[in-house]
Amino acid sequence: MNTYLRRHRNPKFEIQNFKSFILFFFFLAFLSSCNSSGREGVEEEQFAKYWYQGKAEINVFDLQQSRYGEVRPGKAVMIFVTEDFSKSKQVKLDNPQDRPSDAQKVMKLNMTREFLTGVYPYHTMLSVFTPVYEEVPSPKLTASVTEWCGQSFSQLNFKNGKYNAKLFSYFESEGDVESKIDAKTEEELFNLIRLNPELVSMGNQLLIPSLIFQRFAHIPLKAEQATISKNDLGSNQSEIEVVYSEIGRKLTIRYNQFFPFEILGFTETWTNSDGKQEVTTATRTNMQLLEYWKQNEKVYEPLRKDLGL
């Protein structure tokens, strides 16, 4: 018995057991942290291999933009990239390693449209920041429309369960206004599709329509009743459809069914108050992964031609 007890109280044996226990504890903690988010559809290894390689995905679209009753040819660009975002300030973190508790990984969409209306140009830009791992609304969206008549700027910040909305416009009837809106956002759908289309909720719900559309249509910045559905198009493609019956708007987003769920095109249909229908389409023509923020010298300008810009 004494020999048995001494053998099982061997210090080396107990230390090895203790080390094994600690390693197992940290392994469980790691698994817990990986599964602590609500984004069950985000497969970490697959996602990280594509989105954490230090490049942005540049998507170029042929744009047919309906404006003032006519269809105008132009270009749309969607730039998808992941970055560290400040939970408290709702801005990009310059040094996330210094404030890890304040950092959250987001999928950022920067989307631009450029087209002409007669003699003068239109430029729009949309930015959407959507958490990769936390199942919470996008903390921030911004949108701007600039043309020769003037400019407008919208910003939504999610705080205390609602969006704080601000609109600044050169139109007297529109700006400047602030409000609180308790609804999800239409333009978050692009990022949710990129994370996993299964994250898009189907059915009837309150949505804040496209910030760009609201400025084009000159309607109030507020939520509207919408119905979201998904259609299988075949050839490994699907589309998300959003219909607003009250304001006569329909959006369809076409995408690949498999990771990384690339956006292939979108269509916006608006039936305005006089019954006329305006249709805008965007069809993807090119995609490249680039470190574009490092490619700002003249020598890189030929890359624009490669992209079809």
State the Cα–Cα distance between residues 300 and 309, nearest whole angstrom. Answer: 13
Which pLDDT does position 38 carry in this prediction?
Answer: 56
Read off the pLDDT of residues 227-274 as tens digits, 9 standing for 90 and up.
999 999 999 999 999 999 999 999 999 999 999 999 999 999 999 888
What does the block give as tokens for 168? 């600044």
State the Cα–Cα distance between residues 221 and 175, nearest whole angstrom. Answer: 10
- List C-alpha distances in Å: 293 to 54, 81, 119, 147: 11, 12, 32, 26
Of 179, 175, 72, 50, the C-alpha closest to 117 is 72
Residue 14, judged by CB atoms within 10 A of its CB (0-12, 13-18, 19+), counts as: exposed
Model pTM score: 0.86
Looking at the chain, the whole-number percentage of residues with pLDDT higher than 70 is 88
Name the pairing type of β-strands 203-208 and 184-185: parallel
Of residues 175 and 257, more confidence is placed in: 257
Task: Count CA atoms within 13 Å of residue 238 on its CB side.
Answer: 16
pLDDT category of residue 174 using cuts at 50, 70 and 90: confident
Rounded mean pLDDT of 276-296? 97
Residue type, 127: S
State the Cα–Cα distance between residues 255 and 244, nearest whole angstrom. Answer: 21
Of 289, 213, 284, the C-alpha closest to 253 is 284
Residues 256 and 265: beta-carbon distance below 8 Å: no
Average pLDDT of the residues of the chain: 89
What does the block give as tokens for 296? 């700002």
Read off the pLDDT of residues 207-219 as tens digits, 9 standing for 90 and up.
999 999 999 999 9
